[in-house]
Amino acid sequence: MESGRCLLVPILIALIILCLATLSSFLVGAGDVTPSRALAALFGAADEEAHFVVFELRMVRTLLGVTVGIALGAAGSLLQAATRNPLAEPGLLGVSAGASFAVVVAISLGSSAAGLHIWVAVAGALGGCLLVLLVSQVRGVGDDPVRLVLAGAAFSSMLMAMTTLLLLFDQRTADEIRFWIIGALGGRSAEILSWTAPMILCSLIVMLVLVRPLASLALGEKIATGLGHNPRLTRLLTLIVVAFLVGAATAAAGPIAFIGLIVPFAARALVGTDIRRVLWMAVLLGPSLVLVADVLSRLAVRPYELPIGVITAIIGAPVLVAVVRSQRMPSL
C-alpha cells in the first residue's frame, strides 16, 4: 500500500505536467493567433482563422507530439533495461540513424515521403540497433556503458554521413525531406496518425508482456534464468519492440535525439530504478518533453520555427554529460 502511494504522487505530478504541456501546444505558436484567441477557439468562441489554426494545425501537431513522445520515452526505457546501460538511447545506439538512413535510401530509389511505408523505417531501426550491439560484443565493449555509447555514436555518425552523402547527390530527396531529416512535427498531415498510433499501441501492449522478464533481468542473468525467464529471448524481443517504436516515431517526425535518454533519467529520479515504475512514468514524461520542446521550437526564432531536433539536442547534450560525469552512475 505504501509503495502504491509513493507511485501515485509522481504520476499525478507527471499528469499535471502533461496537461500543461498539451494546453501550451494548443495556445502558443507562430502567426497572429494569440493565446487568448486560441483559448477562445477551444471554447468555441473564436473567429474562423483561430479555429482553423487550433483545430486543423495545432491539434494534429499536438497529437503527433504525444504519440512520438510516448514511443521514444518507452523505447529509451526498454533499451536501457535490456542493455542494463543507463546511457543507452535510440539516437546514440544507431536506432534512429538506421531508420533515417533506410528512409532516405527508399526515397532516393523512387518512393515518396508521403507514401513511404513505415516498415522501411522499422527495418532500418532494427538493423542499426543490431549492428551496434554486435559491434559492442567485440572485446567486451558492451560491458562498459561509456564505450558502448561511443561505439553507437561512431556507428550513428557513419550512418548520418552516408545519409548526408545521398542527399548531396540526390537533390530531389534532399528537397523532399529537408525538414524531416532534422526532426520536426510541423506540417504533418492527420493521415500520419492513422498508421503511427496503431503500431505504437500494439508495441506498447507487447511491452507489457516484457515488463516482468526485464525486471528479473535487472537482478542478473542467473537469477532471471532461475525465475524461469530466457534473458537472450527477452533482449531480442525487447529490441524488436524498440525498433517498432522508434521506427514509427522516426517515420512520422524524423529523428528526434535524446528523448530516450532524458525521459528514463527523469523517471528513475522520480520513482527509482524498477522498470515497472519507470515505464509508467516514461509514457507520461515522454510526450510532455516532446511538446515542451516543440513549443520552444516555435518561439525561439519567431516568426520562423526551429526543427524540434535542435531543441532536444540543446537540452539533451548537458544531460548526457551530467550522467557520464556523475560519480555514481545508476546501475540497472
Residue 244 grid coordinates: 517498432
Mean pLDDT lowest for which of 69-78, 163-172, 195-204, 227-236? 163-172
* Mean pLDDT value across residues 140-155: 67
* Mean pLDDT value across residues 5-22: 88
CA distances from 200 to 106, 204, 293, 307, 315 (A): 22, 6, 21, 23, 25
**How confident is the model at residue 70, as a pLDDT?**
95
- For residue 71, pLDDT over 90 is answered with yes
* Mean pLDDT value across residues 26-51: 81
* Of the candidates 89, 84, 72, the residue with the CA atom closest to the CA atom of residue 216: 84
Question: Where is pLDDT greater, at 132 or 219?
Answer: 219
- For residue 141, pLDDT over 70 is answered with no
Judge whether 42 and 26 are in contact, CB under 8 Å: yes
- For residue 46, pLDDT over 90 is answered with no
- For residue 9, pLDDT over 80 is answered with yes
**How confident is the model at residue 178, as a pLDDT?**
67
- For residue 187, pLDDT over 90 is answered with no
Mean pLDDT lowest for which of 99-108, 165-174, 297-306? 165-174
Judge whether 188 and 128 are in contact, CB under 8 Å: no
- For residue 154, pLDDT over 70 is answered with yes
Residue 12's Cβ-count burial label (10 Å; 0-12, 13-18, 19+) is exposed
Judge whether 96 and 250 are in contact, CB under 8 Å: yes
- For residue 115, pLDDT over 60 is answered with no
**How confident is the model at residue 18, as a pLDDT?**
94
Query: Which amino acid makes up residue 168?
Result: L
